Amino acid sequence: MKILLKRNLKYVAILVGVVILVSALFWLLGQQGEAIIYGVPYTGIYNSDFRQSALAAAVFSILQYWWQYDNTLPLPPLLELQQKFPPDLYVSLDEVATFFRGLGYDARVMRIESPKKLLRYVSLQERTPLLFEQMIVPDYAGDYSPHRVLVGVSLSKKIIIVHDVYLGPAYQISFDEWRANYPRRWPENYKFNFLIARPPNYKNLLTRKSPETTPYPDRSAYDRLKKIISVWLSATDDAIQTNFPELLRLHEAVRDEPNFSELSPAIRMSVFNNIAAILNKLGRYEEAKVAAEQALSLNKDLDHPWDIWSGFPKKQLPNPLKHLGDAYKGLGEKEKAREAYRKALEIDPTYQAAKNALDLIE
């Protein structure tokens, strides 16, 4: 009997030890947990347009993500989302949840008090990107909309990983950056709102397709461009706006960035277009003509694939032609200037700047 009791006690001790060990292991994994969802599409200024609505971009990313699993799911055009969620209109997450439910999604707003609880949703089993609201990131100084998409969490590195319309894909935000802005807030007893939106049958959808393993693009190019573009986008005060040499320097810094060619045609066109306008202001007409021609070389099919410019039937913007006309006018080539202004008005008959320029030269 004593031998049997000792043997049972031995087994109990081993069992207790295993339970403690497993519990400790789970605790350790929980403390140093890390998960990231690959394959969540990014939508933002690096592949679309500077005037992007952060909320429309975030909604579009989530819709695209689930559409990849099931092509029968609704996928409204980005232009339609831009009109529904314009950059200058704040929309609550509850309203966004209602929008998702209208598309047949299960959607609800959650209050999350710690980053550890986010791991559940970005885990390999759930693979669910979350839409959330967040305060300004310290190194960004431009116009700001607070919505972004959470794609990953690392407790050991104390970061979350997000797609942000202005900061690019897979941008890492440290918990310390949040503390710097809100010292008494998350992760110290502050709850953030997160929107979870996914198809009712998402579990079945996840089993149809192996998890994406391709890493997101290297952040170095985005980080360099982000610093330049954030300064450019924040140049709104009168001292900067009337300081044309400084404006030119900011635009040329973007143009001369080694990874400039990786940006979307719409953005590169905008850069050349603005450079042409500034050079005209500075009276450097020959250089302005070259910049306007560079813009024109990209001024086509700008709605593909994002439908950004589809308000213009010719899939073009009139601005580069107006700046080309100004350059020709400054060079004394009035007939070429007239032709450029008329072409601008063919694209947009309501373009008042081109109308005024044409009237003055007639």
Above 90 in pLDDT, residue 263?
A: no
Domain 34-208 belongs to what topology? Cathepsin B; Chain A (3.90.70)
Asked if residue 265 lies in contact with residue 302, where contact means CB atoms within 8 angstroms, the answer is: yes
Above 80 in pLDDT, residue 136?
A: no
Q: Three-state DSSP class for 132?
A: strand
Predicted confidence (pLDDT) per residue in 25-63, tens digit: 444 444 458 899 999 998 876 665 555 678 888 999 999
Encoded tokens for 312 = 């213009």
Tell me what pLDDT residue 147 has.
83
Percent of the chain whose pLDDT exceeds 70 = 70
The pTM of the full predicted model, rounded to 2 decimals, is: 0.64
Residue 307, sorted as left (phi over 0), alpha (psi -120 to 50) or beta, turns out to be: left
Name the nearest CA neighbour of 113 among 194, 174, 198. 194
- State the maximum Cα–Cα separation within the chain, in Å, rounded to a whole number: 115
Tell me what pLDDT residue 109 has.
92
* Across 302-311, 316-325, 340-349, least confident range: 302-311
* Domain boundaries along the sequence of the chain: 1-31, 34-208, 235-361
* DSSP H or E stretch at residue 194: strand 192-198
Average pLDDT for residues 334-345, to the nearest whole number? Answer: 94
Encoded tokens for 59 = 């909604």
Predicted confidence (pLDDT) per residue in 164-200, tens digit: 887 788 888 887 765 554 434 444 444 568 999 999 9
- Please give the residue that has the higher pLDDT: either 303 or 275: 275
C-alpha 165/C-alpha 168 separation (Å) is 6
Domain 235-361 belongs to what topology? 1.25.40
Asked if residue 165 lies in contact with residue 58, where contact means CB atoms within 8 angstroms, the answer is: yes
